[in-house]
Amino acid sequence: MRSLVATILLCLTFAGPVMAEPASQSVLPNSGETKAPIRIGLTPVFLDNQTTFVNAWRAYLSKRLNRPIEFVQRASYREITDLLRAEKLEFAWICGAPFVRYKNELKLLSVPVYQGKTTYRSYLIVPASDKLTTSIGDLRGKIFAFSDRDSNSGYLVPVYELQNLHQKPGSFFARTFFTWSHRNVVQSVADGLAQAGAVDSYVWDMLAIQSPKLTAQTRVVHASKEHGFPPFVATRNVPPEDVELMRQTLVDMSKDAEGARLLKKLRLDGFVAGNEHLYDSIAAMIHAIAEN
Partner 1 sequence: MFRNLSFRYKIPLRASILILFTATVVAGAIMYHAYRNLKEDLLANSETLGRVLAHPLATALLHDDLWHAYEIINSPFSTSGDDNTQPQVIMVLDAQQRVYVSTQPRQFPVLSTPTAPMHELEALHEAVAAPSITSQPIQIPGSDKFFILTPIVSDNVKLATLVTGYSNSMFLPRYYGIARKAIITTLLALAVLLPISWYWAWRMAIPLTQLAKCMGRVGKTLPEIEECQLYISKDEIGQVGTAFAHMLEQLQEKEVLEAQMLHSERLAAVGRLAAGIAHEINNPLGGMLNAISTLKKHGNADPQTTKTVSLLERGLGQIQNIIAALLVEAKLKSHPLTVQDIEDTRTLVLADAHQKSAEVVWENDILETLPLPSTLVRQILINLLLNAIAAIEPRGRVRCHIYRDSVNLFLRVENGGAHIPAERMAYLFEPFSPVREGGYGLGLWVIYQIAQQMQGEIVVQSHPGETSFVVTLPIRERMS
Q: Which is nearer to partner 1, 4 or 194 (CB)?
A: 194
Size of the site for partner 1 (CB under 8 A): 14
Task: Give me the least distance between CB of 49 and partner 1, in Å please.
Answer: 12
Q: Which is nearer to partner 1, 65 or 145 (CB)?
A: 145
Q: Give yes or no for residue 184 binding partner 1 (CB under 8 A).
A: yes
H or E segment to which residue 227 belongs:
strand 227-228
Q: Give yes or no for residue 180 binding partner 1 (CB under 8 A).
A: yes
Q: Give yes or no for residue 174 binding partner 1 (CB under 8 A).
A: yes
Do 162 and 198 meet the contact criterion of CB atoms below 8 Å apart?
no
Q: Which stretch binds partner 1 (CB under 8 A): 31-39, 183-191, 253-261, 284-292?
A: 183-191
In sequence order, the β-bridge partners of residue 114 are 117
Task: Give me the least distance between CB of 195 and partner 1, in Å please.
Answer: 8
Do 65 and 249 meet the contact criterion of CB atoms below 8 Å apart?
yes
Q: Give yes or no for residue 192 binding partner 1 (CB under 8 A).
A: yes
Nearest of 105, 106, 88, 90 to residue 22 by alpha carbon: 88
Q: Give yes or no for residue 13 binding partner 1 (CB under 8 A).
A: no
Q: Give yes or no for residue 2 binding partner 1 (CB under 8 A).
A: no
- Binding residue for partner 1, selected from 8, 143, 156, 282, defined by CB under 8 A: 143
Q: Give yes or no for residue 7 binding partner 1 (CB under 8 A).
A: no
> How far does Cα 38 stand from its chain's mean position?
20
Nearest of 200, 47, 48 to residue 125 by alpha carbon: 200
Strands 175-178 and 106-113: unpaired
Binding mask 242-281 for partner 1 (x = CB under 8 A): ----------------------------------------
Q: How many residues does the chain have?
A: 292
Nearest of 232, 234, 238, 236 to residue 24 by alpha carbon: 238
What are the C-alpha distances in Å from 35 to residues 70, 86, 138, 166? 12, 21, 56, 54
H or E segment to which residue 270 belongs:
strand 270-272
How many CA within 13 A on the CB side of residue 139?
A: 34
Q: Which stretch binds partner 1 (CB under 8 A): 19-27, 158-166, 190-198, 253-261?
A: 190-198
Q: Give yes or no for residue 49 binding partner 1 (CB under 8 A).
A: no
Task: Give me the least distance between CB of 143 and partner 1, in Å please.
Answer: 5
Which residues contact partner 1 (rule: CB under 8 A)?
A: 143, 145, 174-175, 177-180, 184, 188, 191-194
